[in-house]
Chain A
Amino acid sequence: MTISAERPTQVDDHSPVSPVAVKERRGFGSGWQGQHIGTAIIAGFLGYIFGHWLGNYIGSSYAYIANSGQNSIADLLALVFMVVGWYLGIGALNYPLAKMVGREATHEVEYTGFSKYFRYNLDHKVVGLQYVVGVLLFLFTGGLLAMAIRAELLNPTTHLFSADTYIKIVSEHGTIMMMMATSVVVGPLGNYFIPLMIGARRMAFPRIEAFSFWTFLIGYVVIFSALPYGGFPTGWTGYAPLQTQAGPGMVSYLFGFAVIGVGMMTAGFNLAITVINYRAPGMTWSRVPVFVWGILSTAALLTLATPVLFSAGLFGLLDKTAQTAFFVTEHGGSSFLWQNLFWFFGHPEVYIMALPGFGIVGEIIPVFTRKPLFAYRIAAAGMIGVALLSFFVWQHHLFQSGIDPDMRPLFMLTTELISIPTGFIFLVGMGTLYRAKIRFEVPMLFCMAVYFNFLIGGVTGVFLSDVPVNVTVHGGFFVLSHFHYTIMGGLIFAFFGGLYFWLPKMTGKVMNKKLGLWHFWTMFVFFNLTFFPMFIIGLLGQPRRVFTYAKNLQTLNDFSSISAFLLGLSFLIFVANLMWSQFISPVKSPANPWDSLGLEWQTASPVPRHNFDRIPVIMTDPYHYSEEGAPALADFGGGSRADVSSATFPGNDPA
């Protein structure tokens, strides 16, 4: 049997499969009788009920549960069985169970049409689009909570919420946004474009890829379940001892992070292995697109740092349910242990969010400047450097607590060191922009905004790494503004830039430019008007997570709040654009609307099921813009677009 005979349009996890197996398995029916999001919801709901009953049954024999009236075991088991039910319902466990009787890489029924987006689909392009919807769900939920926060801060004395409710809204906002941000680029754009960019016809582990998405989605439900459970008061960092004292919402937080952590690990694992093994012939490491470098370094962080978060979540859950004392100082544990474990994941997580954004920007700006990417190797080295150093900086989050004062200079130094490779990446962008004739299309505007915003976020970050400044502004709005500038100003702007850039390839329809410009300018202006005043508010002493503040800060807070509402409005413009351009009045996109040399644009549109008719042989890197006599990008072997040459490619004219 040949490999080709084993690659039906049904995706197989591993190529080798026999025709016998094809005949044997048809899943659990077809059409709407098969497995889909509806069956997943039903099975998840039944699992929740069963888990709750089981938890109550187990908990009824413990006096401490009867006395406290809070049964964390029931809360946890309900969520655990909900997740298991979800996996069963969507079909994620079909293959692992089939393996137990020796079946390998069998073929599930695969659907075309709209219903495929509601199923456990093994096509990386479908998973990428599923992720787009998933991250937007996170983003808009977190955004609504942000509106609630800014509404409360309109007045220091008249309150919309109680102090308790306010901190729970802040906590939910922070957690949802941070969970979303870890996957916002890796999920949609990474899954969709990495195989296309490296010339692969598939992911290394498509089932693991699909698993990561459906885990991400149920993670959202788990973390959102904290609100009906009464929320959690710890902020997104979940610090003990408040964690230990908190109510059942804390169980949702801890378990939610563990679930999302599994999704992150599996997503990173699959992407890393795909890039390592499935690069097309000729796609040497020096020809890998810079976006792929960004995703690869992020995948390394996802697979190595996230297990620590998973452990921390497990220990927290054991404290809540089995009455261990990992984070209970009075019983031999330590609340600082949580801080160490959390930030050992938490600080690499910052770069999990930053690196894909750098990758997007590095990919887009050569297209709109028609210049080769300046110092490509330095950009790649910078990303690897950032990824490596990110493991050695976590203790700067403990400058104020739980750290030997003699250790502070060391971690101050490592934190400042990380600004060097970050600076490399920044300078690569500046070098590419230098003396360029820039086409100010919507994606390019978002990329320019990334540099502007990240400069402010990065420079304030260097200040914050300094112990005296850190001690002074710790826990205030200055820090809050800094990380919103890096995460939202960097990552989210890059995400939207990437979305505007690649959506024509993903959906075959162009986004409306006028609405795109409105979206960009309102988002850029009101983002800065929202968060820049917070630096001043922070320096004037307003602490985070407190629902009241000094009267003299009201003007600045009101200004920030009104800007935030308008910033929220800018997202609605994006939604309107998305609806208009993709569904109401779609306009067919040209095959390569930006005249990009990227490999992903050279395959047919819409992208065929197996991406390339022939596996391309790569000749050079995709950045030879405006170069006379540049070599052909790849040999497509008579496939979709043969022998694309940068010298002859439309729009590759320096004039």
Chain B
Amino acid sequence: MPEELINETQTVSDTPEEQEFELRAHIGSIWSGGRLFIAMYTFLDASLIFSYFYLRSSNNGQLWRPNHVTAPTSYGWAIYSLVLLAALMAFYGQSRLRKGSVLDWQIASWVGVFAGVFALLLQIWEFTAVPFAPGSSGYSSTFIGYSCMNIMTLVIVTYWIETSLARSYRLPKEIGGTNPIMSMNPSAQSFRANVASMTYFFGFIALLSTLLFAMFYLL
């Protein structure tokens, strides 16, 4: 016997107040979800930072960082610059979007996507260029850990921009009208809230990258 499918067009009719409530809750979820995601990410990276300073201060067997060996700074600078560029583009795009220029936001986001992908490739390629074995010291271990976590971060942020960009192209077809992305349509409001959360997260990632770059390449 075939499965019974619920009628896809079946709906619950809402009052205008309920519609307003649902929309507010939805936008609020995107806003607070973005902030909570930052809090989660803070704890994730705090464990890496704790490990770095714990092993550094322990310096077991004088093997924290023999001969002050350092990961290739050229790669470090390049990756850090690309992340900063993506973050700056996110902020610039967001400011242009607020002024109604969707095209500017899209161009800035494309730059962000390419910067993210390029940084990701460089981060992976850097494994072939490190002048130490992964387990040769405390520093080398934490550096490999940092690289893996940075790959994860770059995948997340690049995915976030790319999906927002893809959405910005499909949204007008779905809701129609002139400049629908800037309209009061719920889908458009949801889109803008998502972009705002993404930009905020980028700001956090830029700060975090600055700290981690200083720890692993400059200190």
Contacts and interface: CB of A to CB of B under 8 A. Distances in A.
A200 B24 CA distance: 13
B25 interface: yes
Contacts of A141: none
Nearest to A326: B141
Interface in B163-196: 163, 166-171, 173-175, 185-190
A131 interface: no
B214 interface: no
Interface residues of A, number: 81
Contact of B33 (A109, A201, A269, A304): A269
B190 A333 contact: no
Contacts of A332: 55, 59-61, 63-65, 136-141
A104 B18 CA distance: 22
Interface of B: 2-15, 18-19, 21-23, 25-26, 28-30, 32-33, 36-37, 39-41, 43-44, 46-48, 50-51, 54-55, 58-61, 63-65, 133-142, 144-145, 148-149, 159, 162-163, 166-171, 173-175, 185-190
Contacts of A61: none
Interface of A: 1-10, 14-18, 20-22, 30-32, 99-104, 107, 109-113, 115, 200-201, 204-205, 265, 269, 272-274, 276-278, 281, 303-305, 307-308, 310-312, 314-315, 318-319, 322-326, 328-334, 336-337, 340-341, 344, 609-610, 613-615
A89 B29 CA distance: 28
B150 to A, nearest CB: 12
Contacts, number: 246
Contacts of B40: 265, 269, 303-304, 307
Contact of B137 (A22, A278, A325, A334): A325
A329 B50 contact: no
Contacts of A333: 55, 60, 138, 141
A318 B50 contact: no
Contact of A9 (B7, B59, B138, B145): B7
A59 to B, nearest CB: 15
Given A1-B186, A307-B43, A326-B142, 15 more contacts: A1-B187, A4-B14, A5-B11, A7-B14, A9-B6, A9-B8, A104-B167, A110-B5, A273-B33, A276-B32, A303-B40, A319-B141, A326-B51, A331-B63, A334-B138
A204 B54 contact: no
Contacts of B7: 9
Nearest to A32: B3
- Residue from B136, B171, B186 with most neighbouring chain A CB atoms (10 Å): B186
A108 B18 CA distance: 24
Nearest to A99: B163
Contact of B21 (A2, A110, A281): A281
Contacts of A17: 187
A102 B13 contact: no
Contact of A323 (B41, B46, B133, B149): B133
